[in-house]
A and B are shown apart, each in its own frame.
Chain A
Amino acid sequence: MSKIPFAHTPENVFRLVGRKTIAFFEDVGGLAVMIKEMLWGLPKAVTRFHLIIEQMHAMGVNSLPLVALVSIFTGAVTAVQAVYQISDYVPIRYLGTMVGKAVMIELAPVLTALVVAGRVGAGIAAELGTMKVTEQIDALQTLALDPVEYLVTPRFIAGVLMLPILTVFADAIAVAGGMGISAATLHVPPHTFINGMRSFFKSMDLFSGLFKAFVFGGIISIIGCYQGFKTYGGAEGVGRSTTKAVVLASVLILISDYIVATILFG
C-alpha cells in the first residue's frame, strides 16, 4: 500500500470501485435473503406474541414523547410558513387546508420515520450487533432457534404496525400545533382553520401517509436488523453498525417516500 496521500493510481481506483460494487451487491443479496427468511417466519411469529408486544412497546410507546415534540413544532412551523408563502394570493381561510394536507401526506410520516430511525433503528442495530459480537446469536442457533425468525420477524411486525400508529398521533399533534399557533399569533381562529382542513379533505390524504408509514416501519426494522447481524469486531463494530443503520434507513426512507408518492399520486 502506498503511503503517499492521495496517491490513487488507476489500479487503486478500480480496486476501490470493484470492492464497493461487490459490497453493494452483497448487501442487496443479504437483505433479500433475510427478508425472505423473515417472511417465512411470519406464521411462527404469531405464537411468539410476547416478543411482538415487547418490540411494539419499545418502538411505539417509548417513541411517543419524541414524536409528539417533533410534531408540535412541525405543525407550528408549517402554519407560520404557509401564511408567509400564501397570504398574498390565497385566502387565509385555506390555511387549514394547506397545513392539514402537508402534515398528513408528507411531513408527519416522513419526520416520524426519521425520528424513529434515529431512535429505534439505532437501538435495534446496537442490540443485535452486541448479541452478534458476544456470540448470543450463535447461542440462539445452538438452541435450535432461527435468529431471523426469533429476532427479526417480531421487530418487523412491530415496525410496520407501530409506525402508522405513531403517524396518526403525529398527524393529530401537528395539526393541533398548527391550529394553536394560528390562533395565538396568526389571527386565524380554530374554527376557520378546521373548516379549511375539512373543506378539501380526502381520505386519500390520510391513508397515503399511513401507507408510507407502513413502508418506513418495515425499512427501519429490516435495516436495523440487517446491520446488527452483519456486525463484527467488538464495541467498535457495534458503533459502526449503528451509524450505518441510521444513515441507510434515513436515505431509504426518503427514496421510498419519492417512489410511493409517484405510485400513489403520479
Chain B
Amino acid sequence: MIEIKNVFKSFGGNQVLRGVDLTIKKGETMVILGRSGCGKSVMLKLIMGLLRPDSGQIFVNGDEITLFKDSQFNKLRQKFGMLFQAAALFDSMTVDGNVGLALREHTNLSEKEIEKKVAAKLKLVGLSGVEQMKPAELSGGMKKRVGLARAIAMDPEYVLYDEPTTGLDPIMSDVINELIVCLRNTLSITSIAVTHDIVSAYKIADRIAMLYEGKIIFVGTPEEVKRTDNPVVRQFVEGSSQGPIETL
C-alpha cells in the first residue's frame, strides 16, 4: 500500500504539488490523469525517493519513506520497478545490459539464467532478437518497451508506469495494456500508471485519480469517471477545449 498525505513540492517559485492526498491499495492499478506539466511525473519520483517533498508524508507498506535517509532507499527500491516517461535507457549498454542489469547486480543467477529471463521479459513487451542492440538503434516505441522490460525484470511488487503507451501504435498499446492488466491479475502487482490515453486508462485502471492544480480533485473507478458530473474530469476525459480548465 502506498499512502500520500498532504504532499507539497515546488521548484523555485513554481508550486507543482499543493497538498496531494492519495492512497493506492495493495494489488490495485491506480491511473493518474492530469494535464501536461501538472506534476504527474514528479509524483512518481517522490514515491521512488528520487525527489524529496517540501512537506507532507509518503508511506510505503507503512514505512514513512519521507523520513528515510538516501541510503535507506535501496532496499525498498528492489521491490519497485519504474518506467520513465522517456525510457531513460542506459545508452552505453545493450538492451540485454539494460534489462539484465538489476539481475546481474542483485541476484546470484547464472549468466545463462539471466539471458533467459531477459529474453522472457522482452517477449512480454513484444520484442525479440534485440538483445545486442544499443538504445540508439531502437525506435521510440521500442525504447519504451525495453524500459518496461527493465522495470519488471526483478519481478517487483510495485510498478510505476510513466505514460506506458505514449508513442506506441494502437496494437502495441493494447499489448502493453494487456500486460499491465495481466501483471496485476497474475502477480497482484500494485501499480501507478500515468497516462493521457483515456482508452488505456479505462482498460487498465481499478481506480482513476485526477491531478489538477496541485491537488487530487477526483478519485473513482472507471465507471464512476464515466458517470461523474465533475466538470473538470468531464472536460478532461472528453478532451474538450471548452470548460473550466484554462487552456492558457
Contacts and interface: CB of A to CB of B under 8 A. Distances in A.
Given A135-B84, A138-B48, A145-B105, 17 more contacts: A127-B92, A136-B89, A138-B50, A139-B82, A139-B90, A140-B90, A141-B73, A142-B77, A142-B80, A142-B151, A143-B101, A143-B150, A143-B154, A144-B74, A144-B102, A144-B105, A144-B106
Contacts of A127: 92
A78 B105 CA distance: 50
A143 B105 contact: yes
Contact of B88 (A136, A144, A146): A136
Nearest to B51: A138
A134 interface: yes
Interface string A236-254: 0000000000000000000
Q: How large is the interface on A (under 10, 10 to 19, 20 to 34, 35 or more residues)?
A: 10 to 19
B77 to A, nearest CB: 4
Interface in A119-138: 127, 130-131, 134-136, 138
Which 4 pairs from chain A and chain B are nearest by CB? A135-B88, A139-B88, A144-B77, A142-B82
B78 interface: yes
A132 B80 CA distance: 21
B102 to A, nearest CB: 4
B105 A134 contact: no
User: Which of B88, B102, B151 lies at the interface centre, i.e. has the most chain A CB atoms within 10 A of its CB?
Assistant: B88
A131 B90 CA distance: 8
Nearest to B82: A142
A190 to B, nearest CB: 46
27 contacts: A127-B92, A130-B91, A131-B90, A134-B86, A134-B88, A135-B86, A135-B88, A136-B88, A136-B89, A136-B90, A138-B45, A138-B50, A139-B90, A139-B150, A141-B49, A141-B73, A141-B77, A142-B48, A142-B80, A142-B81, A142-B82, A143-B102, A143-B105, A144-B73, A145-B74, A145-B102, A146-B74
Interface string B43-83: 00100111000000000000000000000011101101110
Interface of B: 45, 48-50, 73-75, 77-78, 80-82, 84, 86, 88-92, 101-102, 105-106, 150-151, 154
A216 B47 CA distance: 40
B201 to A, nearest CB: 23
A129 to B, nearest CB: 13
A143 B89 CA distance: 12
Contacts of B151: 142
Contacts of A136: 88-91
Nearest to A127: B92
A131 B77 CA distance: 20
Contacts of B82: 139, 142
B103 to A, nearest CB: 10
Nearest to A143: B102
A78 to B, nearest CB: 39
A146 B73 CA distance: 10
A238 to B, nearest CB: 13
A138 B101 contact: no
A138 B77 contact: no
Contact of B84 (A138, A144, A145, A146): A138
A129 B73 CA distance: 23
A140 B93 CA distance: 12
